[in-house]
C-alpha cells in the first residue's frame, strides 16, 4: 500500500511511504490528513490511522472500517523495516514486547513519518526502539513541562512543572523552588491521561497541591511547606511561561537577524510590529488583538500603490493561519518571520500570498527606517 500523508501547507502535496504485509490485505493506497485540533496535527492524524488498524473497533474521524481484527499476528513492513504486531486479548505487542494501544499508535506514527524521508531499514528500526523507550506522554512532559492545575482563592491556576529522567524507570518533577519529587515512568504516563488528555482514569487525577506533594515526596507537607509550594506554583503559570519563552525566541531572532528583522513595541513593551526583509519582498507583521487564536498576527507585503506609480504601500492583511490552535502570539510572530525571511520558498506553499504580489522580485523595497518613524 502507498500511504500518502498530506503536507501541512496549501500545496495539496503529499509525503509518501510504502506499507506491506503478507498476511493482511491493505488497499492499494490510502491518504492521511492532519488533525488541527491536536498539539501536533500531522502526528495526530497518523496516530489515528494506526489506531483504526490496531483497535478492533476501528473508527477515527474518517470512519475507516478496515482493522486487523480482535486477534492478529502480522509482520508489517514500513518502507522495508519489518515490525511484528500482535494482539492477544487486550494486550498489544511490538516486536515481542507489550505496550499500551496509545504507545503503539504513537510509535508507529513517528516511524511512518520518518519512513517518508529515510530508506535504511536499520535506521528506521533504531528510531522505533528509541521512540518506544519512553511513552509519548512522558516525552511530551520532558519537552514541554508537565501540566498541572489546581484551585486557589476560587480561581483555577494552570501551571507547568519541570520534569527530568533520573533512571530507566524513574522521573523527577519539580514542585517547589529546588524541591523535586519522584514518580515512575508509568505513573507519569497515567498522570498525563488526566492533565494532558482530560481522561478521568487512574489515581493521578484532580490532585490538590498537598496531595501531589504527598504522592511524589512520600509525606504530607507542613502548613509552611504548602504555602511555599503554592507560591512557587503561582509563579509558574502556564500562560506566563509560554508567553515568556515565545518572546525570548523573538528577541533571539532580532539579534541573530539584526539586518533583516526590525521591531517596534508599545509603551508597555509589547511587540506591536515586526518588519521582515525577505529574499524577494518586504513584509510587515502586526499584533492583531481581535483575530482568532490561529491568526493573532496579521501579515502585509510591500507592493506598488494603486494610486501612484513607483510608490509602494502595504497590501493585506494576508490570510495565513497556524496549523494548530493555542500558539502564543510570540510564536506566531516568530513562525511567520522565519517563513518570510525565506519568502522565495514560502510563496510556493502558501497559496493566499500570491494574489497580493503584482511586482517583480526585488522591484519594490520598503524604507523600514521611515516606516518605523511613522509608528
Distance, first Cα to last Cα, the chain: 56
Distance CA 74, CA 70 (A): 13
Going across the sheet that includes 297-304, the strands are: 261-265, 271-277, 282-287, 297-304, 312-318
Same domain, 271 and 166: no
Same domain, 95 and 155: no
Same domain, 156 and 272: no
Same domain, 285 and 219: no
Consecutive 10-residue averages of pLDDT for the chain (375 residues): 90 93 93 85 93 77 66 96 94 94 93 96 94 90 93 90 92 94 95 92 93 96 94 84 82 93 88 94 87 78 79 89 75 91 92 90 86 66
Same domain, 195 and 211: yes
Distance CA 190, CA 81 (A): 30
End of a domain among 74, 106, 133? Answer: 133
Same domain, 250 and 231: no
End of a domain among 133, 152, 170? Answer: 133
Quick one: cell of 211? 496531595
Quick one: cell of 119? 530508506
Distance CA 6, CA 335 (A): 20
Same domain, 284 and 363: yes
Same domain, 202 and 298: no
> What is the reported pLDDT for 373?
66
pTM of the model: 0.67
> What is the reported pLDDT for 307?
66
Helix (H, G, I), strand (E, B) or coil at 330: helix
> What is the reported pLDDT for 281?
95
End of a domain among 236, 270, 293? Answer: 236
- Rounded to the nearest 5°, which phi and psi values hold at 337? -60, -45
Distance CA 268, CA 289 (A): 15
Domain encompassing residue 167: 138-236
Same domain, 366 and 308: yes
Same domain, 265 and 177: no
Same domain, 9 and 79: yes
Same domain, 146 and 198: yes
As for how many domains the chain has, the answer is 3
Amino acid at each position: 500500500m502507498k500511504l500518502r500523508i498530506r503536507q501541512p501547507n496549501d500545496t495539496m502535496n503529499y509525503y509518501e511511504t510504502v506499507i506491506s504485509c503478507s498476511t493482511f490485505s491493505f488497499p492499494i493506497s490510502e491518504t492521511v490528513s492532519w488533525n488541527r485540533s491536536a498539539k501536533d496535527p500531522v502526528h495526530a492524524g497518523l496516530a489515528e490511522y494506526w489506531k483504526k488498524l490496531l483497535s478492533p473497533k476501528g473508527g477515527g474521524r474518517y470512519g475507516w472500517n478496515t482493522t486487523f481484527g480482535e486477534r492478529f499476528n502480522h509482520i508489517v513492513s514500513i518502507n522495508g523495516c519489518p515490525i511484528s504486531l500482535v494482539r492477544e486479548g487486550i494486550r498489544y505487542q511490538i516486536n515481542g514486547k507489550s505496550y499500551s494501544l496509545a504507545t503503539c499508535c504513537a510509535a508507529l506514527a513517528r516511524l511512518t513519518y520518518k519512513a517518508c524521508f529515510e530508506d535504511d531499514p536499520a535506521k528506521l528500526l533504531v528510531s522505533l526502539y528509541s521512540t518506544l523507550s519512553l511513552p509519548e506522554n512522558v516525552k511530551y512532559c520532558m519537552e514541554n513541562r508537565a501540566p498541572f492545575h489546581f484551585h486557589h482563592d476560587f480561581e483555577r491556576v494552570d501551571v507547568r512543572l519541570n520534569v527530568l529522567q533520573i533512571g530507566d524507570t524513574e522521573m523527577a518533577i519539580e514542585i517547589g523552588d529546588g524541591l523535586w519529587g519522584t514518580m515512575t515512568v508509568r505513573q507519569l504516563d497515567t498522570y498525563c491521561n488526566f492533565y494532558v488528555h482530560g481522561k478521568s482514569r487512574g489515581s493521578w487525577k484532580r490532585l490538590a497541591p498537598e496531595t501531589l506533594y504527598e504522592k511524589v515526596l512520600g509525606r504530607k507537607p507542613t502548613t509552611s511547606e504548602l504555602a511555599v509550594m503554592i507560591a512557587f506554583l503561582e509563579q509558574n503559570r502556564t500562560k506566563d511561561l509560554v508567553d515568556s519563552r515565545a518572546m525570548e525566541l523573538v528577541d533571539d531572532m532580532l539579534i541573530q537577524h539584526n539586518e533583516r528583522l526590525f521591531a517596534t513595541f508599545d509603551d508597555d513593551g509589547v511587540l506591536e510590529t515586526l518588519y521582515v526583509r525577505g529574499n524577494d519582498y518586504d513584509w510587515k507583521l502586526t499584533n492583531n488583538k481581535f483575530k482568532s487564536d490561529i491568526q493573532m498576527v496579521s501579515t502585509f507585503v510591500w507592493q506598488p500603490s494603486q494610486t501612484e506609480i513607483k510608490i509602494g504601500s502595504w497590501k493585506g492583511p494576508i490570510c495565513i493561519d497556524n496549523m494548530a490552535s493555542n500558539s502564543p502570539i510570540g510564536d506566531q510572530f516568530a513562525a511567520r518571520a522565519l517563513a518570510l525571511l525565506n519568502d522565495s520558498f514560502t510563496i510556493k506553499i502558501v497559496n493566499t500570498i500570491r494574489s497580493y504580489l503584482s511586482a517583480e522580485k526585488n522591484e519594490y523595497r520598503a524604507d523600514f527606517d521611515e516606516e518605523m518613524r511613522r509608528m
